[in-house]
A and B are shown apart, each in its own frame.
Chain A
Amino acid sequence: MTTVWEQVTASAKLISLPGVYLRLKTLLAEPDYSMADVALVIGQDPALTARLLRLVNSPYFGLTAKIETVFRAVSMLGTQQVHDLALATSVAYSFAGMSIETMDMSRFWRRSVFCGLVSRRLAKECHVLDSERLFVAGLLRDIGHLIMYQTVPEPCQQAILVAEQRDQPLFLIERELIGIDYARVGGVLIRQWQLPGSLREATEFHVEPLRALEFPLETCLVHISGLLVAAAESGQEFGSGALQPHAESWNITRLSLPQCLSVQAEAEAEVGRVLDFFLPRPRAANG
């Protein structure tokens, strides 16, 4: 008999990132890659190229001049940001075909993009150098749920209800009822994909930010972002009950409650404008 854990990890193993992204990641791990190399690798995949250029020219960046080639995107935005965008769109792409009856996929993606936007804005407030990277971290925060909803849908539904009833953090209930939580599963995915450490820690530990060893700031930012998004979506008050950030995360981020609330409002306004550019087209378009 297989355990839930085995079921979930086996399912996670089936989710891989597109080959073009993997090639890009390999290239960026080399010490002397150039912008031309990056552009040529991405250029091998016309679909990714198109998605990337769509993103680059989206209101998300608010550039005045249109960027027409990947090479120009790379030289304008830099290789890391192009990588992160490619990653974001690749992750979404990888799950795009997934249909889960118990889950509204478009809502899931909206929440994830929303979280990404909040994380990015909070990072800017904190003057984090790679603030753009926090978008991907926020985006991936909830990725574990995609596996769990597919593998163990009913217990997941139950956990949500219990968590709401008890006003307790979801991950705690998931651990209690299912034996695993979405953050842990997200961590498995990130590890499997060999993504950067900051993304792994933020995804795996954003529910318990003090466990982050190398990237506590990033992890705390995603932690707060998740609570802000949950608050906005549920209409509940950020900062109380299950939506209360870990006390230490205030010290680490040095953010204030008003800062967080204003970011929450700005991101909520933004999400509608940029969501389409991140969101995989619904499967319906196919049929």
Chain B
Amino acid sequence: MAEATEQRQGLILVADDEATQRLLTGQALKQAGFDVIEAEDGAEALAAYEKSRPDLILLDVRMPKMDGFAVCARIRQMVDGGEVPIVMVTGLEDIDSIERSYESGATDFITKPVVWAILSHRVRYLLRAGDAIQALRQSESRLMQAQRVARLGNWDWDIVRDRVRWSDEIYRLFGIEPDALGPSLQSFLNFVHPDDRQLVTLAIDDALSNKAPYLVEHRIIGRDGGEVTVEQQAEVVFGSNDVPLRMIGTVQDVSDRKRTEQQIHQLAFYDSLTGLPNRDLFRERAERALRSAKRNGQKMALIFLDLDEFKYINDTLGHDAGDELLCEIASYLSHSIRASDLVAKAQTEDPHKASLSRLGGDEFTVLLPDLHEVEVAARVAGRVLEQLRRPMKIQGKEFFVTGSMGIAIYPDDGDSVEILLKNADIAMYHAKQGGRNSFRFYARHMDERVQLRLSMEGKLKRALERDELTLHYQPKVEIETGRIIGIEALLRWNNPDMGQVAPAKFIPVAEETGLIVPIGEWVMYNACNRAQTWRQAGLVTVDMAVNLSSHQFRRGGLVEMVGKVLDETGLDARFLELELTESVIMENVEETISVLNQLKTMGIILSVDDFGTGYSSMAYLKRFPLDIVKIDRSFVKDITTDINDATIIKAIIALARGLNLTSIAEGVETEEQLQFLRRHGCDQMQGYLVSRPVPAEQMEQLLRAERLSDEESMPSSEVLEPGLSRAHDC
């Protein structure tokens, strides 16, 4: 069959109560390549539809049991019955039927008598139209779904009629019922965040006048008061003569993206502990402020703040306490430079305001753009110091923290952020050196010293490994007998590049860097070892004195370290003397007493160094288990010429005696000073008059001479060479 070869074009349901009519219709369709099923009445038609889901239905209007209109309406009510084309077959000029067909949801109608030749064509057309509609509907629904997922709403503004059509998604965005938005642009604008309204209207106006599509990001306040950030894009459709006809736009909810962006920004540019801007953001802001200052010929200040003794708090109380303290300080500082609003409003920050950042650790910066006068920077720094002066409560304990600050000014102290930061750091270092809890403006001469210090730091680290450290020894003499009764071990550093470095220069560096711990241990070991070696050689029965730095004292573990060294060297504790400065002793009285008592129990001799220079209080001295008071050299220097110094020394000697302490004068340089000290009953002396600190070999020579002449009996008969012949030898 020729027909059979034709491609199957669709399944057609033909419902008619007249058999002839069914036959003819069916044949005409089959001939055109359609598959056909038939139904004799309305009920049969419904059943056939449900069973076979035909692609098109031809319904005779008049049928028994259920007419065509009813069948059509029923099918249209079915879940997927909305789209199948239904063609009603009506009597000619039966206008009423045609009308009813439309109402019951029919797609089209044909009138009897049917022209068989064109029926199949008619059906083909209808099928194609149905496909198109279905495709349109599907794509429409897919679009809607996509828009819902993308939170993308759209609107269409008929400019000529000034009516706006809103998509469902827009209602959802605004948190309102569909159709609750008026058909005007103004009703949309009402939902825009008041701060952004101008931005949006300007964009629209601009699009209308310049024919340019726009993209703006703005906020919307929903009915429930929630804030949503949207991205709005729109373009204008123009008619002839450039008259704007329509404007079509999309509105997309980008709140989530925005939040993520902000989170990323927060992570990237803010310190997670304190919430302050971090080093990167600081740098960005500083660069911006610097550019603006350069452009406007203005000054800018950069303040570098470093907390004093933060390491100590971290070490003794743990990092949690340290973190807590940093947060507390960050909030104090924010208040003191009124920067709290800046921290909150990172997006809309005012570049002309001061801003606080945390560079890391216990380092903070304050940026002061648009500086009218340098004094402002000093005032801000002063305010920061004042804020820090308040006690902080950490883990139930009160703390007083101080900070040291350095200030660098653009353009005076540098023209790049990097240099300004470096110089502020240098100035800060000087503030620290100068007694902490203060601020300093950068000055050019500071550079050199800091460079020196930095290079010294590196060299000092290697000094131990490279054996550059040595001990020198200085004897202490009992004034009444002239005997050497003790030796003080003094650290010396001989660096290949720098030569002899004075302890006053490198000890502070060692303390700052923590190198004082291994160095202190090295000194203790070598001094004790030397003392023990000399003792075993029968050279001395004197004490070996070792100086302790405040860092060694406060760091803890001192008693253990000393005990270990005594064990290792075999030196009896009663031959070891530890010298502490007055300021070390007074720093933390209760703790000091406890440590000193432990050392005392071991049998160690304790002396207080530099006595008279600090807040010396004899009443305090009584509380410490001390043995010796060393009178500072500054008093000894002028005892023979300055009546005040003479009086002070006499008083110290008398008080020491009253407290049953041994007095020793440091820095004795002349015989006149010695005579004075002897006259006033000072017990011991030490100084250049007796001997400079000398290397071990030289000290050993002196000790050997002491022993030799000690042991030698007086020669009873001295044998003398003839003077003249002797003279030739010389």
B483, B674, B715, B726: the one contacting A72 at CB < 8 Å is: B483
Interface presence of B103 (CB below 8 A): no
CA distance A68 to B713 in the complex (A): 9
Chain A positions 41-63 with a Cβ under 8 Å from a chain B Cβ: 43, 46-47, 49-51, 53-54
Contact B481 A95 (CB under 8 A): no
If A34-B692, A36-B691, A71-B706 touch, does A17 touch B724 (CB 8 Å cutoff)?
Answer: no
Interface presence of A75 (CB below 8 A): yes
Q: Which of A16, A34, A65, A79 has the most CB of B within 10 A?
A: A34
Name the distance in Å between B580's Cβ and chain A's nearest Cβ.
Answer: 26
Interface presence of B705 (CB below 8 A): yes
Chain B positions 303-360 with a Cβ under 8 Å from a chain A Cβ: none
Interface presence of B452 (CB below 8 A): no
Chain B positions 651-692 with a Cβ under 8 Å from a chain A Cβ: 671, 674, 688-692
Q: Contacts of B475 on A, CB cut-off 8 Å?
A: 36
Q: Which of A51, A79, A97, A280 has the most CB of B within 10 A?
A: A97
Contact A43 B705 (CB under 8 A): yes
A79 to chain B: closest residue by CB = B671
Contact B723 A70 (CB under 8 A): no
Contact B689 A70 (CB under 8 A): no
Contact A285 B717 (CB under 8 A): yes
Interface presence of A19 (CB below 8 A): yes
Contact A281 B723 (CB under 8 A): no
Contact A93 B701 (CB under 8 A): no
Interface presence of B79 (CB below 8 A): no
Chain A positions 4-25 with a Cβ under 8 Å from a chain B Cβ: 14-19, 22
Interface presence of B694 (CB below 8 A): yes
Name the distance in Å between A48's Cβ and chain B's nearest Cβ.
Answer: 10
Contact B692 A53 (CB under 8 A): no
Q: Contacts of B479 on A, CB cut-off 8 Å?
A: 75
Q: Which of A67, A76, A93 has the most CB of B within 10 A?
A: A76
Q: Contacts of B706 on A, CB cut-off 8 Å?
A: 69, 71
A15, A22, A34: the one contacting B691 at CB < 8 Å is: A34
Interface presence of B721 (CB below 8 A): yes
If A19-B729, A65-B481 touch, does A35 touch B719 (CB 8 Å cutoff)?
Answer: no
Interface presence of B75 (CB below 8 A): no
Interface presence of B643 (CB below 8 A): no
Chain A positions 209-256 with a Cβ under 8 Å from a chain B Cβ: none
Name the distance in Å between B660's Cβ and chain A's nearest Cβ.
Answer: 23
A42 to chain B: closest residue by CB = B705
CA distance A192 to B701 in the complex (A): 33
Chain B positions 377-433 with a Cβ under 8 Å from a chain A Cβ: none
Q: Contacts of B671 on A, CB cut-off 8 Å?
A: 78-80
Q: Contacts of A14 on B, CB cut-off 8 Å?
A: 724, 727
Interface presence of A164 (CB below 8 A): no
B477, B708, B730: the one contacting A18 at CB < 8 Å is: B730
Contact A72 B705 (CB under 8 A): no
A20 to chain B: closest residue by CB = B730
Contact A281 B720 (CB under 8 A): yes
Interface presence of A39 (CB below 8 A): yes
Interface presence of A73 (CB below 8 A): yes
CA distance A32 to B690 in the complex (A): 11
Interface presence of B589 (CB below 8 A): no
Chain B positions 585-644 with a Cβ under 8 Å from a chain A Cβ: none
Name the distance in Å between B685's Cβ and chain A's nearest Cβ.
Answer: 8
Q: Contacts of A280 on B, CB cut-off 8 Å?
A: 720
CA distance A36 to B706 in the complex (A): 10
Q: Contacts of B467 on A, CB cut-off 8 Å?
A: none
Name the distance in Å between A256's Cβ and chain B's nearest Cβ.
Answer: 29
CA distance A11 to B248 in the complex (A): 132
CA distance A286 to B690 in the complex (A): 38
A16, A36, A37, A53: the one contacting B714 at CB < 8 Å is: A53
Interface presence of B718 (CB below 8 A): yes
Contact B718 A72 (CB under 8 A): no
CA distance A221 to B289 in the complex (A): 86
Contact B727 A94 (CB under 8 A): yes
Contact B718 A281 (CB under 8 A): yes
Interface presence of A183 (CB below 8 A): no
Name the distance in Å between A95's Cβ and chain B's nearest Cβ.
Answer: 5
Interface presence of B455 (CB below 8 A): no
CA distance A283 to B702 in the complex (A): 34
Name the distance in Å between A41's Cβ and chain B's nearest Cβ.
Answer: 10
Q: Contacts of A281 on B, CB cut-off 8 Å?
A: 717-718, 720
Interface residues, chain A, CB within 8 Å of chain B? 14-19, 22, 32, 34-37, 39-40, 43, 46-47, 49-51, 53-54, 65, 67-76, 78-80, 93-98, 280-281, 283, 285-286
Q: Which 5 A-B pairs have the closest CB atoms?
A: A97-B722, A72-B482, A36-B691, A75-B482, A19-B730
Interface residues, chain B, CB within 8 Å of chain A? 475, 477, 479, 481-484, 671, 674, 688-692, 694, 701-702, 705-706, 708-710, 712, 714-715, 717-727, 729-730
Q: List 30 A-B contacts (CB under 8 A).
A: A17-B730, A32-B692, A34-B688, A35-B689, A40-B701, A40-B702, A40-B705, A47-B718, A50-B714, A69-B706, A69-B709, A69-B710, A71-B482, A71-B484, A71-B702, A72-B482, A75-B690, A76-B481, A78-B674, A93-B720, A93-B726, A96-B722, A96-B723, A97-B721, A97-B723, A97-B726, A98-B723, A281-B720, A285-B719, A286-B719
